[in-house]
Amino acid sequence: MSGIVKPSELTVLVVDDDPVNLEFLKRLIAKTGYRTEGVRDGPACIEAAIRLAPDLILLDVYMPGMDGLEICRILKEDERTREIPVIFVTASEDKGMVQRAFKAGGADYVQKPVNRIELQVRVESVLNRKRLLELALNEKKLQGSLEMAGAVCHELNQPLQVVLGYAQLIRKDLPRDELLDTLEKIQTQIERMGNITRKLMSITRYETFEYMGGRKIVDIHKSSNEKTRREA
């Protein structure tokens, strides 16, 4: 994700059981340039959250049936919707409610009657926070890829060197027994590479070690497949 995202590329899902309130909130959000979608109850919210993958959900706390806190807890339990930040809309002055809203996984809250500027500032701030988190996560993923690439180079270039060398030696006139011996060495190294790639593919959790120049690379011998570890 690039650093700059236009508001028109971001979707805010607004959830309120009252059709007038819903329309009002949608308009406030749309004025800032965000795309909006509206739904009026919990099940519709959860379905829309999965289907649309919105960038933010503006969620009314008090609704008949499933209330906002419960909806939020469900969203946070589902890995498809866990990362979507939720801003609660509450009529309550109750500090306990604010605490419960954050505990349910809310990123922020606004109080009714909703002030346009305040809503816009909070939405923007939550979206910025999300963007920074995504950037940090991407950075971590890139780091992980580099550590893995390092391990692949480190592990495979050794046997490749042996195979290449012996393959070239075969071109010289070797006596038959030496030739067979050399072919066997090549085969052993190819099998070793096969084991390395199999190991790499099954890694679910990895450890790194410090390579030269302070760079870290994946230690494929210490890394493991969680499934086999549990069985062990």
Partner 1 sequence: MEKRILIVDDEKMIRKMMNQAFSMEGYRVYEAESGEDALKLLANEKAQVMFLDLNLPGMDGIELCREIRKSFPLAVIYALTGYASLYELADCREAGFDDYFTKPASLDVLSRASREAFERLARWQKRDKGLS
Q: Where on the chain is the footprint of partner 1 (CB under 8 A)?
A: 150, 153-154, 157-166, 168-169, 172, 185, 189, 211-213, 215, 217
Q: Give which of 148, 114, 107, 143 is closest to 18, Cα–Cα.
A: 114
What is the closest distance, in whole angstroms, from the C-beta atom of residue 76 to partner 1 in the complex? Answer: 41
Nearer to partner 1, 32 or 158 (CB): 158
Residues 130 and 86: their CA atoms lie apart, in Å, by 11
Cβ neighbours of residue 159 under 8 Å, at least 6 residues apart? 189, 190, 192, 193, 196
String of DSSP letters for 132-166: HHHHHHHHHHHHHHHHHHHHHHHHHHHHHHHHHHH
| Residue with Cβ nearer partner 1 (115 or 188) | 188
200: part of which helix (H) or strand (E)? helix 176-202
Minimum distance from residue 47 beta carbon to partner 1 (Å): 48
Closer to partner 1 by CB, 85 or 159: give it. 159
Phi/psi at 67 (5° precision): -85, 170
Minimum CB separation of residue 203 from partner 1 in Å reads: 18
Shorter beta-carbon distance to partner 1: residue 89 or 217: 217
The position carrying tokens 């052993």 is 188
Q: State in angstroms the smallest separation of the CB of 141 from partner 1.
A: 20
Question: Nearer Cβ to partner 1, position 1 or 180?
Answer: 180
CB of 215 to partner 1, least distance (A): 7
